[in-house]
Amino acid sequence: MPVRVAYHTITWGKDFLRALDEITEVGYKAFETFGLEEYYSRVEEFKELLARRGLTLTSIYCEGSFIDGDKLKEEISQIRRTIEFLNKMRCAQVILGGGRKKEEGNTTEDYRTMASTLNEIGKIACDYGLQLCYHPHSGTMVENRQQLTWLCESTAPELIFLTPDTAHLVRGGADPVEVFRTYSDRIKYVHFKDIRDNEFVELGEGIVNFTKLIKVLEENNYRGWVVVELDTTGLTPRISAMISKKYLQDKGIKL
C-alpha cells in the first residue's frame, strides 16, 4: 500500500528524545507527537534535532473543551500557535480531539458551540495551508457512531476532515471498515491502533480487521499518513513498536 507510515511518541510518555531515538532504531522514518510548545520558538533547532535522526514530523495532536466560553479564546490561541509551528515544519494536517463530555450529558447548545468552534479553528488551519483533522475519541463529545455522524453533518466539509482511530472507533461501538468507507472523502490522516477486551494492544494482537481497512484505503487511493499508536504497554515502547512494525511488514506495507 503506497501510504506513509509513522509512529506515535505517546508510548514513551514525557521521554520525548528517547522516543525519537527508539522510533528511529526500530526503523520508522516519521512520527506524530503532542506538547512541543518548548520548540515553537526554536524551529531551526527542532529541525536539526530531527535531521540528525532522519525523522519527519507528521503532525501534532491537540485537544480542547470547545464548549467552555471562558476557555475558548485561550484554546483557540494555543491551537493557532501549534498550527503556526506545523506550517513552519511543512506539515499538511493538524490533529484535533476533544469536546468536553459532561457527566449529566451534553446539550444541543453544547454541540452547536463545538461545531462553530471547530469551523473557526478549521478556517485558521486553512489560512495556514493545513487541514484540520478531527479525531473521534472515547471520553469526548464524539465517541460513538451517532456523534460522528453529527460531526460530519454539522461542520464544513471543506474545513473539517477526519483522523479515524481504529481502536477508539471500536470502543465507541462503530465498525472501522464502515467508517473508512463512508467518510473516505474526509479522511486525510489515520491512526492504526488495535484493541482487545477494551484495552489497547499492538497491531495484530487485537480484534481490528486491518486487512479490510488496508483494502479500503487502497480502493480509495489514500495517500495520507498512517500513524501507528499505542498509549501504554506492558512490554517496552521499543518492543511494542517492533511488534507493530513486523505486523505491517507481514501485510506488505513498507515503512
The predicted structure's pLDDT at residue 123: 98
Report the distance separating Cα 23 and Cα 137, nearest Å: 24
Over range 25-37, report the average pLDDT.
96
pTM, whole model, 2 decimals?
0.96
Residue 2 clears pLDDT 90, i.e. is over it: no
Over range 72-87, report the average pLDDT.
97
Residue pair 120/76 in contact (Cβ under 8 Å)? The answer is yes
Report the distance separating Cα 25 and Cα 29, nearest Å: 10
Report the distance separating Cα 53 and Cα 17, nearest Å: 11
> What's domain 31-225's architecture?
Alpha-Beta Barrel (3.20)
> pLDDT > 90: what percent of the chain?
96
- pLDDT-based confidence at residue 1 (cuts at 50, 70, 90): low
Residue 129 clears pLDDT 80, i.e. is over it: yes
- pLDDT-based confidence at residue 40 (cuts at 50, 70, 90): very high
Over range 102-120, report the average pLDDT.
97
- Domain assignments of the chain as residue spans, ordered by start: 31-225
Residue pair 66/118 in contact (Cβ under 8 Å)? The answer is yes
The predicted structure's pLDDT at residue 252: 85
Mean confidence (pLDDT) of the chain: 96
Give tens-digit pLDDT for 167-183.
999 999 999 999 999 99
Q: Where are the alpha helices (DSSP H) in the chain?
A: 16-26, 43-51, 69-88, 108-127, 145-154, 166-171, 176-182, 210-219, 237-250
The predicted structure's pLDDT at residue 255: 76
Residue 238 clears pLDDT 80, i.e. is over it: yes
